[in-house]
Amino acid sequence: MIVPDSADVTTDVTAELLRYAEACRTAIPAYLPADGVTPYLRTPVADYLARPGKGLRPALCLATCEAFGGAVADAIPSAVAIELLHTAFLVHDDLADGSELRRGQPTLHERYGAALALNAGDALGVYAMSALEDNRAGLGGSLAGQIAAEFEFMARQTVDGQALDLGWRIDNRLDIGPDDYLELIMRKTCWYTTILPLRVGAITGSRGRADVEPMIRFGFLLGAAFQIQDDILNLTASGGAYGKEPLGDLLEGKRTLMLIHVLAAMSPADRNRIEGFLAAPRASRGREDAIWVAARMEALGSIAFAKAFAAGIASDAATAFAAAFAGVGETSAKAFVRSMIPFMVERTW
């Protein structure tokens, strides 16, 4: 790991993360439906937002805006738009995956039914666009247009990545390698989780003067570290702060580094069993089988492999960070973004 005293840094990161996330969270209600809108929409739309998430995406955007010379307030509409879109993706992903838990409570479709959840996800996307519209007043039409184009490009990547993720599972593809996995999470996770927040933060803070090209590489590495740790936590975390269904990824047949590794490492007999597990419909995959797959992953070093992989990516991310933030001075905002690198792979929630 790059940062020597990671324990201290992590403590700081958590407090700063909370501060940035809170700045976004308090701005969100102004963009949600008010009186005159049916509770069949208002209630499900507000539900996930009332369950505290980490706020990683808005925090990255707001801190990067500050690091590039702007004020937190300058990037609030974009940060709100990111968080609302993220929430929209969560709602639709949970529905598509048949997930049961989100942030420690039943998923939206479990609570309100698939139809109202689907519509609430659509609405969250609409409200995100409303937030983006506010950039026009705050930053002028030209910069607002540039940011809107960033969002549009990102959204295209996200739906493409989501389709790939679903398609691989539907077709039960077993020929996926680590490169395929990285390509998938580049599209599905990194663009919206890290690359866009970083780029939009830098564009906003520098009023369009920063070269945001190097943010793609840094964002990719940061986002990949985040996603691999996310996948690991789904296997290893339990109870408490971890709000998703443990082993849910296995039950949903998600292609992860651990799955790729274990498929390559296991005996033919075991491989037959796991292939049968993956070929079965989601509803008939048993939890005992998932526990067995997780145990094989542990025994065959698949989790250690993924951890080492993530550590290597985090190390590369530190170099990429230096390039992407080379043009700006050392501020606490810049330090916060840097400290997100170890945070991504060390977090337990």
Residue 217 interacting with a second copy (CB under 8 A): no
**118 touches a second copy (CB under 8 A):** yes
Calpha distance 288→82 (Å, rounded): 37
Q: Does 110 bind a second copy (CB under 8 A)?
A: no
Of 1-9, 134-142, 319-327, 341-349, the window that binds a second copy (rule: CB under 8 A) is: 134-142
95 interacts with a second copy by CB under 8 A: yes
Binding piece for a second copy, criterion CB under 8 A, among 76-84, 142-150, 192-200, 255-263: 142-150
Among 12, 110, 133, 270, binds a second copy (CB under 8 A): 133
Number of residues that bind a second copy (CB under 8 A): 43
Written in H, E and C, the secondary structure of the chain is: CCCCCHHHHHHHHHHHHHHHHHHHHCCHHHHCCCCCCCHHHHHHHHHHHCCCCCCHHHHHHHHHHHHCCCCHHHHHHHHHHHHHHHHHHHHHHHHHHCCCEECCEECHHHHHCHHHHHHHHHHHHHHHHHHHHHHHHHHCHHHHHHHHHHHHHHHHHHHHHHHHHHHHHHCCCCCCCHHHHHHHHHHHHHHHHHHHHHHHHHHHHCCCCCCCCHHHHHHHHHHHHHHHHHHHHHHHCCCCCCCCCCCHHHHCCCCCHHHHHHHHHCCHHHHHHHHHHHHCCHHHCCHHHHHHHHHHHHHCCHHHHHHHHHHHHHHHHHHHHHHHCCCCCCCHHHHHHHHHHHHHHHCCC
CA triple 108-172-279, angle to 5 deg: 85
155 binds a second copy (CB under 8 A): yes
Among 100, 110, 122, 245, binds a second copy (CB under 8 A): 122
Q: Is 219 exposed, middle or buried (0-12, 13-18, 19+ CB in 10 A)?
A: buried
Stretch that binds a second copy, among 4-12, 161-169, 210-218, 335-343 (CB under 8 A): 161-169
In angstroms, the CA 152 to CA 48 distance is 23
Q: Which residue type occupies 50?
A: A
Q: Answer yes or no whether residue 37 interacts with a second copy by CB under 8 A.
A: yes
| 120 near a second copy (CB under 8 A) | yes
Q: How many whole angstroms separate alpha carbon 61 and alpha carbon 65?
A: 6
Task: Give the residue, chosen from 22, 33, 270, 280, that forms a contact with a second copy under the rule CB under 8 A.
Answer: 33
Alpha carbons 224 and 312: distance in angstroms, whole number: 11
Query: Closer to a second copy at the Cβ: 65 or 91?
Result: 91
Answer yes or no whether residue 166 interacts with a second copy by CB under 8 A: yes
Give me the least distance between CB of 319 and a second copy, in Å please: 28
Query: Does residue 97 touch a second copy according to CB under 8 A?
Result: yes
Residues 64-93: x where in contact with a second copy by CB under 8 A, - otherwise, as a string:
----------------------------x-
115 belongs to the binding site for a second copy (CB under 8 A): yes
In the complex, least distance from residue 327 CB atom to a second copy, rounded to whole angstroms: 28
Nearer to a second copy, 33 or 208 (CB): 33
Q: Which is nearer to a second copy, 33 or 243 (CB)?
A: 33
CB of 145 to a second copy, least distance (A): 6
Smallest separation, CB 214 to a second copy (Å): 22
Assess 123 for contact with a second copy (CB under 8 A).
yes
List binders of a second copy among 167-196 (CB under 8 A).
167, 170
Select the residue interacting with a second copy from 7, 15, 38, 284 (CB under 8 A): 38
Enumerate binding residues for a second copy (CB under 8 A).
33, 37-41, 92, 95-97, 113-116, 118-123, 125-127, 129-130, 133, 136, 141-142, 145, 148-149, 152, 155-156, 159-160, 162-164, 166-167, 170
